[in-house]
Amino acid sequence: MIQSLRCYYFLTLMFFIAIFWSSQPCAKPAFPVSTTEDHKVTSTLLGAESANFMVTLPHNYQQSPNKRYVVLLDLHPRSHLMLVGMHDWMSHNGGWPWPETIIITAPDGHQALGKLKQRAIEQQGDQALLDFFEQDLLPAIDKRYRTNGFRIFNGFTGNAGLVLYSLINRPSLFNAYIAASPVLSADFAYVLNDAPEKLKNMQGKPRFLFVSTSDSDFEQRQLDSFAKLEGIIQTNANSQLNYQIKRFDGSYYMTQPILATANGI
């Protein structure tokens, strides 16, 4: 009997505690929640099909209405969560070592944007993709968000090849270029062909390049091209290009964008 009464009183107490806590205001999350939204970009270069780029704002964006921010663009849709998580970790101590940044990634499977990329890769001298960046995408971002003019172009494998293509053909578009395990073989975007002359004649404000690779199985077929790129940069880069070339030998292929972005930042 006594044991039954104890059980009854215990369950009654738990019931009232549950009611009390359920009536309290929801506790604030342990960590700030990022603001992520789709930003529609229209362009004659895309035809009738607009493109929704995913944008994540720094945690304090709304609370700091007078502050302006760095922009980082990556063309791989699946890189968004990785970059946002890395940025949160590397910027939460007062924006160091990664300054508070607006993260932007491209839509998945966008046919018109894909055609612009394909033209850049396959047709020497075609700069329609860079025209889209300069005339439509970057102005749309600057108009909608509080940017500070400093831009980073980040990429892995094929998109890293396009990072290098952008650097050598229109270096003024971005201030920093991070290329992880770039695809360069088979005349990819004619980077190796065009780089010697264009790096030598680069003008304007100084630019930063971080380019890296490793000796993983997946990267073996690109190592000869990477060695050629390294030689071209070392021989032809003028004082306008501050560069770092890094080998992450012994590391796994899919860690390369993480390693390159962290070290490049």
pLDDT digits (tens, 9 = 90+) for 40-83: 999 999 998 899 999 999 998 999 999 999 999 999 999 999 99
Q: In this structure, what DSSP letter does residue 252 have?
A: -
Determine contact, residues 101/69, Cβ cutoff 8 Å. Answer: yes
**130-189 pLDDT per residue, tens:** 999 999 999 999 999 999 999 999 999 999 999 999 999 999 999 999 999 999 999 999
The pair of three-digit structure tokens given for residue 196, joined into one six-digit string? 């010697």
How far is residue 203's CA from residue 106's CA, in Å, rounded to a whole number? 29
Give the pLDDT of residue 30: 59
Q: How far is CA 217 from CA 55, 220, 250, 254, in A?
A: 33, 5, 10, 11
pLDDT over threshold 50, residue 9: no
pLDDT over threshold 90, residue 19: no
How far is residue 56's CA from residue 85's CA, in Å, rounded to a whole number? 11
Q: What pTM was computed for the model?
A: 0.88
**97-147 pLDDT per residue, tens:** 999 999 999 999 999 999 999 999 999 999 999 999 999 999 999 999 999
